[in-house]
Chain A
Amino acid sequence: MSSLASLVLLAVSAAIVNNVVLSQFLGICPFLGVSKNTKTAAGMGGAVIFVITVASFVTGLIYKFILANSALLKKGIDLRFLQTIVFILVIAALVQFVEMFLKKQMPPLYESLGVFLPLITTNCAVLGVALNCVTFEYNLLESVVYGLATAVGFFIAIVLMAGLREKIEYNDIPKPFQGTAIVLLTACLMSIAFMGFSGMI
């Protein structure tokens, strides 16, 4: 099975080399929308780490034991085509559940992550990770590591972007480029910088 070294390699590759935002273009909406200051960006990043890790575990379980259940497959019942529908519903329900659970059981954590949780429901990064785990045929442990590492990559990208945007505020930018345009150009430069990691693995 997967050794520790291969898991570490998988994690580094998912977090940095194939960064979820800067090279896979998943989760662009929060990346552009919630990156005005580092504090909210870190909150959003934290919420995404939490949700993607839990979601990749739960969707991995559901895929392994229900959709691609070997006993069912032997009987000729192949439910794998349902993955998109099942995953999106599971993720939406899961986010709602996590929100309610945190509100009741862990108010301090809810205070810091709560407002971002509903925004993640239709975040394409969560669904993208779940679907990628199936495509790459990861086992349960690999799926969780991949999910966690991808989300850490999102955290890194959004916090870096927020830090840059705080500085950009003070710069004299040509009128048409103010707002989103300059953020996209910054993202372009960040993406070039992250491409430098591609020789690493």
Chain B
Amino acid sequence: MNKYTERLYNGVIKENPTFVLMLGMCPTLAVTSSAINGLGMGLSTLVVLVCSNLLISLFRNIIPNGVRIPAFIVIVASLVTVVQLLMQAYLPALSKSLGVYIPLIVVNCIILGRAESYASKNGPLESVFDGIGMGLGFTMGLTIIGLIREILGAGTFFGLAFLSSIKGYTPATIFIMAPGAFLVLGFLVAGMNIVRKKMEAKGKPLAEPAGCLSGDCANCGMSAGCTGKSQAAGKSE
């Protein structure tokens, strides 16, 4: 396995941002009311992530260390604006259903996290593959959660009649509404806790959750990836 396929494997399986690292939980909860929405959000994040990883990796030796986070934010925000305008022009329906969550990709901790922990330390090609891996992992996570919620909550499969075609079947609408997002994610986290235990017993522990779901901003594993954390840490020193 060369280092490029290793990056892909790392992003999709080993450090999957949704299931293992538990990053980017706001969009994960908000846009997974259907599989299509999850897929659309995942792919938009993928595009932004790949481009931002490429640009940040190219500029990593030019950007002064002290202002790197604002510089990253400007790069990411510009890319997000490009994606947002492209979606408004070519995918108006999807753009409408994702709404404010498209511009909010800017504050998605996966993007700044990868910029800080990978792209700012590695070459452009590796960073691009890291972005593709992480982006695909995130897309996979969102699509799977979206699919679960859609099947249970609407009885459809990517918008096609699935369970709903069975006579007398009533979908549990709560799953495509706001509480369903918390419910599915809660069970997902619990399931991952079991998997984590099993893997630890096997001697192959999974990576720790790095994002906000680890429960405590003060001891957040994202370290300097989050602007808030780096300043808070700086103050306590």
Q: Could you tell me which A residues sit within 8 Å of B by CB distance?
A: 22-30, 32-34, 36, 81-85, 88-89, 92, 115, 118-124, 127-128, 131-132, 135, 174-185, 187-189, 191-192, 195
| Known interface pairs A178-B193, A184-B189; 18 further A-B residue pairs with C-beta atoms within 8 A, sorted by A's residue number | A32-B212, A33-B214, A84-B103, A88-B107, A119-B228, A122-B227, A128-B100, A131-B104, A135-B99, A176-B193, A177-B186, A184-B183, A185-B182, A185-B186, A188-B183, A191-B179, A191-B182, A195-B177
**Distance in Å: Cβ of B25 to nearest Cβ of chain A:** 5
A32 to B26, CA, bound (A): 11
> 12 A–B contact pairs at CB < 8 A?
A29-B25, A32-B25, A34-B216, A36-B216, A83-B103, A88-B73, A118-B229, A176-B194, A177-B193, A182-B186, A188-B179, A191-B179
B181 at the interface (CB under 8 A from A): yes
- Nearest B residue to A99 via CB reads B231
Q: List the A residue with the shortest CB-CB distance to B185.
A: A184
Q: Who on chain B is nearest to A121 by CB?
A: B227
**Shortest beta-carbon distance, B148 to chain A, in Å?**
14
**A28-B25, A29-B212, A81-B85 known; A122 vs B104 contact (CB < 8 Å):** no
Are A191 and B74 closer than 8 Å at their CB atoms? no
**Within 8 Å CB of A188, what residues of B?**
179-180, 182-183, 186
Which stretch from B7-15, B49-57, B75-83, B126-134 is at the chain A interface? B75-83
Let me know if B178 and A23 touch, CB within 8 A: yes
Contact present for A184 and B186 (CB under 8 Å): yes
A165 to B212, CA, bound (A): 17
A51 to B168, CA, bound (A): 51
Q: Which residues of B contact A27 (CB under 8 A)?
A: 26
The proximity string for B residues 201-237 relative to A, scoring 1 for CB distances below 8 Å and 0 otherwise, is: 0000000010111111100100000111101100100
Contact of B106 with A92 in the complex, beta carbons under 8 Å? no
Question: Restricting to B1-56, which residues have a CB under 8 Å from any CB of A?
Answer: 22, 25-26, 29-30
Give the most central of B80, B104, B182: most A CB within 10 Å.
B182
A30, A123, A132, A184 pick with most chain B CB within 10 angstroms = A184
Residue of A nearest to B234 (CB): A118
| From B29, B189, B228, contact of A121 by CB (8 A) | B228
State the CA gap A177–B194 with chains docked (Å).
Answer: 9
CB-defined contacts of B215 to chain A, threshold 8 Å: 32-33, 36, 179-180, 183
A28 to B214, CA, bound (A): 12
Query: Which residues of A are found within 8 Å of B94, using beta-carbon distances?
Result: none
Q: How far is the CA of A92 from the CA of B178 in the complex (A)?
A: 29
Please state if A33 and B220 are interface contacts (CB–CB under 8 Å).
yes
Cα–Cα, bound, A178→B196 (Å):
13
- Does B169 touch A at the CB level, under 8 Å? no
B112 at the A/B interface (Cβ < 8 Å)? yes
Q: How far is the CA of A33 from the CA of B209 in the complex (A)?
A: 13
